[in-house]
A and B are shown apart, each in its own frame.
Chain A
């Protein structure tokens, strides 16, 4: 299994531009998480999907952030317009939920986003 795949690996953009981050979860996993990691705030949950449906988006910072999961094998996180304070590493993680939630998460390698 290739694991959770994220693209791009690095993204450098200018303030005001639209940024789209992509994630392919592990096949068969029905839960997907987007996290943001910074030195100041550590690992923050942005949004959680279960069976392609957004269940908890309370961590999404503001309306500039949006996430979609059109099918079980693909998710996007979009920032429009981007700002320098959005600079961080964004991780996608997936998990299989089979009636219980004590399974481990599998993380992608992350997208390093720099907004200039």
Chain B
């Protein structure tokens, strides 16, 4: 079985400040972890993924995420937030034995000018 939790429905941050969007997962076996972003009236877009190797993964638009196996977490981070980063962010997990990713409920990121 696989599951994902995004504990925050909404994250508010001021422009220029660092941001973190949290994600924890539960799987049997090794996880493949993803972050997607959804802008208003659009489909989800891939940001980054962790498969294996370096625990710090860099992705699109300056985002990065850190895989922490002991804490079963994969938090999304950005050093300096932009107003244009405001969107809905989804964490997803899949294991090698599954064909279907499990998505979290999403976290709304609001960056204030």
Is residue A70 contacting chain B, with contact meaning CB distance below 8 A? no
Per DSSP, chain B at the interface is loop
A91 in contact with B44 (CB, 8 Å): yes
Interface residues contributed by chain B, number (CB under 8 Å): 22
Per DSSP, chain A at the interface is strand
Cross-interface CB contact of A43 among B41, B46, B100, B103, cutoff 8 Å: B103
User: How far apart are the CA atoms of A43 and B96 in the complex, in Å?
Assistant: 22
Interfacial chain A residues near B98, Cβ < 8 Å: 101
Cross-interface CB contact of B49 among A4, A55, A100, A104, cutoff 8 Å: A104
Task: Produce 1/0 per residue, B1-24, CB < 8 A to A.
Answer: 000000000000000000000000
Is residue A106 contacting chain B, with contact meaning CB distance below 8 A? yes
A110 in contact with B43 (CB, 8 Å): yes
